[in-house]
Amino acid sequence: MADARLERIRAKAFEEGKRLLGISAYFWVLLTMFSLHKAFMLNLNVFSFQQAAAIINALAMSKVVVIAQALHFGQGYRNKPLVYPVVLQAAVFSVLLLVFHLIEETLIGKWHGKTLAQSVPTLGDGSLQALMMIEIILFVALIPFFAFLEMERVVGWETLHTLFFGRKYQR
């Protein structure tokens, strides 16, 4: 009895780990693209600290997404056509992730002894317009992410895998 329970816990932990890794990979690609764009636009070294930080930030962002999903954050319109829950989740999570990033960077600045004003990160040129542009880019980047998750919810992983790769998924 205890062995079966332990095996279920292990299997669940393994599945959640794979899920977290997949979400992290998506965010890593997204953050790396932001970082490379910034490096090219400002003529900076392409292999900077920002690329390394993208991995850590991707893991943190994916953990925020997993926890928020477990709390059913932004999961309205589930009985409507897929476009509604996808757009809702992309909007809600883009705001959530940007707020999380601002809080995280502010706390890191405070940890390093900076004042609150010095700790608040500047995004783009620090203007409201730059903040809104980053929010819009993040919103658009999250649409395919949540479209994939919603399609998986509706048709199941095996069917989704078959639709994308044309052969039956083997576990």
Q: Are residues 33 and 86 in the same domain?
A: no
The answer on pLDDT for 84 being more than 90 is yes
Q: Same structural domain for residues 30 and 83?
A: no
Residues 49 and 101 in one domain: no
**Per-residue pLDDT band at 57 (split at 50, 70, 90):** confident
- pLDDT of 151 reads 93
Q: Ramachandran region of residue 166, left (φ > 0), alpha (ψ -120 to 50) or beta?
A: left
Q: Which of 19-23, 108-112, 127-131 holds the top average pLDDT?
A: 19-23
Assess whether 88 and 154 both reside in one domain: yes
Phi-psi sector, 48: left (phi>0), alpha (psi -120 to 50), beta:
beta
% the chain with pLDDT above 90 = 27
Mean pLDDT of 132-141: 91
Query: Residue 152: helix, strand or coil by DSSP?
Result: helix
**AA letter at 51:** Q
- Total domains in the fold of the chain: 2
Whole-angstrom Cα distance, residue 151 to residue 154?
5
On whether both 87 and 47 belong to a single domain, the answer is no
What is the rounded CA–CA span in Å between residue 3 and residue 47? 47
On whether residue 40 sits in a domain, the answer given is yes
User: Is residue 64 included in any domain, yes or no?
Assistant: no
Provide the domain limits for residue 11: 1-54
pLDDT for res 126: 66
